[in-house]
Amino acid sequence: MAVAEFTPSSSSIIKKTSLYSSQLSYVSTHQISYKRRFSLRPLQRTHYANICCSVTSNEVQAPVVTNDLKKKPECFGVFCLTYDLKAEEETSCWKKLINVSVSGAAGMIANHLLFKLAAGEVFGPDQPIALKLLGSERSIQALEGVAMELEDSLYPLLREVSIGIDPYEVFQDAEWALLIGAKPRGPGMERADLLDINGQIFAEQGKALNAVASRNVKVIVVGNPCNTNALICLKNAPDIPAKNFHALTRLDENRAKCQLALKAGVFYDKVSNVTIWGNHSTTQVPDYLNAKINGFPVKEVIRDTKWLEEEFTEKVQKRGGVLIQKWGRSSAASTAVSVVDAIRSLVTPTPEGDWFSTGVYTDGNPYGIAEGIVFSMPCRSKGDGDYELVKDVIIDDYLRSRIKKSEDELLAEKRCVAHLTGEGIAVCDLPGDTMLPGEM
């Protein structure tokens, strides 16, 4: 029998939801053929915490067992029910719960992404998950609303939900950190200003990850300008491998695949080996030279060289802006899908001969690209969360000249945020405004 008691919430901003105790957090809920024998016993009423539950009145109370109340945030709603499973009932098929932290969790991108994570679409249908959601003081009520929706969706894999405004608490023990939250670019704001404002956010988040996250946490930066934000974040997290930081360029890759498929008259799954080189800006380089359609080089299938060199690149670069003009809002849903794709590419083996794009640290790259920046390049993974850069790619003079332009831009951005990376005084000499519509 489970004990369920609730007390009114305190004014604390951090609220943690726990459906099961630490033992039960390892249970796989995939529908597999073994009998579920849950022997539940009342928890000892040793410590109490103030809790807010959306499904009960303020007259009902439930205990939360903890050895340190200061480290035990409050729970929320149905997740307040805490069960204790007998140790002898553990089975070898249970998986350890994974901790996923998401910043900007009250925003539109997260609104699409969180439910995919909770449903098992990202890490698998048998992987229990804890979601730790980071917002701001202004968004805390919205975060409570997000938690309520997750609660009402009855996801069996979702074992914990925490919400808060302090990255040092929300990033605690994070194994994946999806950094979506960033300030949008307002009217009249220079790109250098955006780099500085958002750079300060990601510097602080890097410090928090360095202090409290798992030592092998994987970080995907979505907030723009994502390449340089990822660089700032990793420079402020020296105890975490720089290789673990990614800037999201998967949406650009997906858009490139879409355009190639449309031009060739095939479905998306026939397009492979697509690379986005460089910065997530209008200097990005969608690579058709190495891409394939039905296993054949794109140039053998699409013989319109002028389209490939001009219209193809422009369509990919400006796709987001066209979408905003058509729909009046940014591409939140497809961005969320691309985050899912980016994670899957790291946790599942890359198909033989194929690769994927992600913005990663350039130290030791085989392409002659300047070191010390975050640059989108072709990668492969064995499915263990790690990756290796692809060596068997063709780079001709045309492709190299375009890569160089994006490289120069990222080096200029790096100089512009030197004060945030510990590399001296900032000098902003950005080579023009290459802002993407998603930054506004």
Catalytic residues: 280
d(CA 82, CA 255): 44
User: Quick one: tokens of 370?
Assistant: 């300047």
Owner of token pair 């901003």: 13
